[in-house]
Amino acid sequence: MEIAYIALGTNIEPREAYLTGALEKITEHEEIKMNNISSIYETDPVGYTDQADFLNMIIEVETTLSPMDLLAYCQGIENRLGRERDIRFGPRTIDLDILLYGEETVSTDELTVPHPRMHERAFVLVPLAELAPSYSIPKVGERVEDLLEKLPEADKKGVRDWSAEDERNDT
């Protein structure tokens, strides 16, 4: 049994439904137990910036699946939810990225764990800091909350609590 962290991202409507659909499908697997989920954040696109804002969140799961089997299951969910891979860093219905798998490192053509860019992305570190602030990322050797602290303010401003926005709209 290992603890893994998976990042979810979507920037094609209905974004919330894609997140909910992915969470449902994750919990359908008998070898995956959902331990914890972060808040949902609305985030400015990073990399290819000429695209819509994302909704991002992170889940903590406990699983007996190997990293490669977990990857295959996540890719199956992306396909079932209609993900097409036209533009490499472009818009997507749903993206499921394995960030961390216990203390293990994986380096194959299909999968790199820890995710190679996670330590520099505010849309990953902000939700991850909710679930695992003290987690020291293998290879990087630094804790999530320390990495987040070091990120430029401009990057952090691009990550907004979307649940809080919902509450504001209700009043």
Q: Is 166 a catalytic residue?
A: no
- Report, in Å, the least distance between residue 30 CB and ligand GSY: 27
Tokens of 35: 């331990």
Is the Cβ–Cβ distance between 5 and 60 less than 8 Å?
yes
Looking only at residues 2 through 31 of this chain, which bind ligand GSY when binding is defined by CB under 6 A? 9
The answer to whether 88 is a known catalytic residue is no
Annotated catalytic residue, options 15, 92, 121, 155 = 92
Contacting range for ligand GSY; rule: CB under 6 A; set: 39-47, 66-74, 132-140, 163-171: 39-47
H or E, element range at 68: helix 67-80
Instruction: By CB under 6 A, name the one of 4, 5, 18, 45 that touches ligand GSY.
Output: 45
Q: Report helix, strand and coil shares of the chain as percent, to nearest 5.
A: 35, 25, 35
The CB-side HSE value for 62 (13 A sphere, CA atoms) comes to 4
Mark residues 52-91: x for contact with ligand GSY by CB under 6 A, - for none. --x-x--------------------------------x--
Sign of CA pseudo-dihedral 158, 161, 162, 168: negative
92 catalytic per annotation: yes
Active site residue 83: yes
- Residue 117, Cβ neighbours under 10 Å: how many? 12
Residue 46 in contact with ligand GSY, rule: CB under 6 A = yes
Strands (E), the chain: 2-10, 32-37, 41-43, 54-63, 95-101, 106-107, 112-113, 159-161
How many residues belong to the site for ligand GSY (CB under 6 A)? Answer: 12
Catalytic residues: 83, 92, 95, 97
Binding-site ranges for ligand GSY (CB under 6 A)? 9, 43-47, 54, 56, 89, 95, 97, 123
